[in-house]
Homo-oligomer: A and B are copies of this chain.
Amino acid sequence: MELNTAIKQLNDVDSKLHALNHAQAMIYWDGAIGAPKNSVEGRAKTLSILTGEYYNTLVNDDFNELLSFLQNNISNLDYITSKKVENFRNEYDKIAKIPQEDYSEYTAVQAKSGAAWEEAKEKNDFSIFAPHLEKVINYNKKFIEYRGFNKHPYNTLLDDYEKGITTDDLDEFFSELKNTIVPLVAKIKESGVDINTEFAYKHYDVKKQDKLNKKLLESIGFNMDSGLIEESVHPFTTNFNRNDVRITTHYYDNNVLSALYSTIHEGGHAIYEQNISEELEYSTLCGGTSMGIHESQSRFFENVIGRSYSFLEYLFPMVQEAFPENLSDVTAYDFYFAANESSPSLVRIEADELTYSLHIMIRYEIEKLLFENKVLVEDLPKLWNEKYHEYMGLTPKSDAEGILQDVHWSEGYFGYFPSYALGNAYASQFAHTMKNVIDFDEDLKNGNFDNINNWLHDNIHKHGKLLTPKEIIEKATGEPLNAKYYTKYLEEKYSKLYNLK
């Protein structure tokens, strides 16, 4: 085969897969923002056909041979093409090592498991879900066998969401978190400090919120010509390409904080996608490199920026101007406290900045035990409740608000949750480095995002999938993941907020 022909074939497959992603994401987006009631079945049907088409385009002997040919000529390829080959080889092997038959069976198991989880949660009865969860776990164990693993079977799953991260990394990481956050949470409880948040939960007109949230989104650097914001039940970000990145938020008429922090969170994801290098445009390489790095961007904007006093000095006057009836007597300082109230809770998606990663830590400890065959599915609710009691000082009153709270396990998302905690830690590490070169707080006070977004662009965004998460961290900050930046950030922030010694 001619090398040029092979490269053309590779690029054609790349473009086709990108187009299929675009189509699927568009149909999914449409379904989330208000499609007709009866459209559910047709949407599922088309998505399943497009998924099959994606699979068939990627996994076939011709493409396997093409990749091998290009791998043998890797030194003659330009940088981007070589990265495409590398990424497709990973994706190919991940799927192709699993026999098609097992994969089909697993898809059916997932579907049933999802329905069982829904019923179990509604009826608050873990036993409805347990046999399905066991099947999902067993399929994942089987897939690990097919795919092989390095040191620990769970590493294969972790690698799917955060390339290169291992249980060794995470054991050390969560140990640092546990040693810092658990005592911090206890101290806050003991402090007796009571933060006034009442003004944030008055009546807030949704149309005015919408206007305010759009203003916020633009002010942090989201390009409104290359994206938009809509409403949906659960906020999310989707990217069709770097010129069309969309987010949703959700407005509550009795809560001004919820939408603001959801918008700035999704805005962080979106700014990442809008700022990937133009040379990756319309390629499957044009996307965030991992879940953890993606989450680092959303958390950086939501927490490091959005919940900082400096930024609230800039943002609060806008909020006050939009809602003088609720906020005329409130100061930026009051608002800063309200936005940072910490209170341990049982439900991850309602967690505050400080306790969020504890939810993830519990999930990690349990998942690891599962893939070490050290816990039975039937014992999970008990184990879950014990860990919540130990780390948070709380015990779920029901499995619905305990082990059953999230859908993800029913869909087979094991190894997925740790990325959230990693994202938090990456965000602090990036902020630490960034502050050495730019006047971070001064910029935030003035609502000036040029320096911040340029730094993010140069060090993170522009690379798309060209670099792994580990490469990005090391290049950007000069060292590997170091949880201390995150724990130090939390200690300093919450010690001041709660007047701790």
A residues with CB within 8 A of B: 15-16, 18-19, 22-24, 26-27, 29-30, 34-39, 41-43, 45-46, 49-50, 53, 223-228, 240-241, 243-244, 246, 282
Contacts and interface: CB of A to CB of B under 8 A. Distances in A.
A325 B240 CA distance: 46
Contacts of A37: 225-226
A23 B27 contact: yes
A27 B38 contact: no
13 contacts: A15-B45, A19-B49, A19-B50, A22-B46, A23-B24, A23-B50, A26-B26, A36-B243, A36-B244, A37-B225, A38-B226, A39-B226, A42-B243
Contact of A244 (B16, B42, B49, B246): B42
Given A15-B49, A49-B16, A282-B45, A227 B36 contact: yes
What's the dominant secondary structure at chain A's contact region? helix
How many identical chains are in the complex? Answer: 2
A20 to B, nearest CB: 8
Given A45-B282, A49-B15, A282-B42, A244 B27 contact: no
A223 B301 CA distance: 43
Given A23-B27, A46-B23, A243-B41, A36 B226 contact: yes
Given A16-B53, A30-B30, A36 B224 contact: yes
Contacts of A282: 42, 45
B34 A228 contact: yes
Given A45-B282, A53-B16, A30 B38 contact: no
Given A23-B46, A35-B228, A39-B241, 10 more contacts: A15-B45, A19-B45, A23-B50, A26-B27, A36-B243, A37-B225, A38-B226, A38-B244, A41-B243, A42-B240
A244 B26 contact: no
B27 A241 contact: no
Contacts of A53: 16, 19, 53
A53 B282 CA distance: 17
A16 B243 CA distance: 28
Contacts of A50: 19, 23
Contacts of A244: 35-36, 38-39, 42-43
Contacts of A246: 36
A141 to B, nearest CB: 33
A273 to B, nearest CB: 12
A169 B29 CA distance: 47
A243 B42 CA distance: 8
Contacts of A15: 45, 49
Nearest to A45: B282
Contacts of A36: 224-228, 243-244, 246
Nearest to A23: B23
Nearest to A52: B16
A275 B101 CA distance: 38
A497 B19 CA distance: 54
Contacts of A241: 39, 42
A238 to B, nearest CB: 12
Contacts of A24: 23
A26 B29 CA distance: 10
A15 B1 CA distance: 34
A29 B23 CA distance: 12
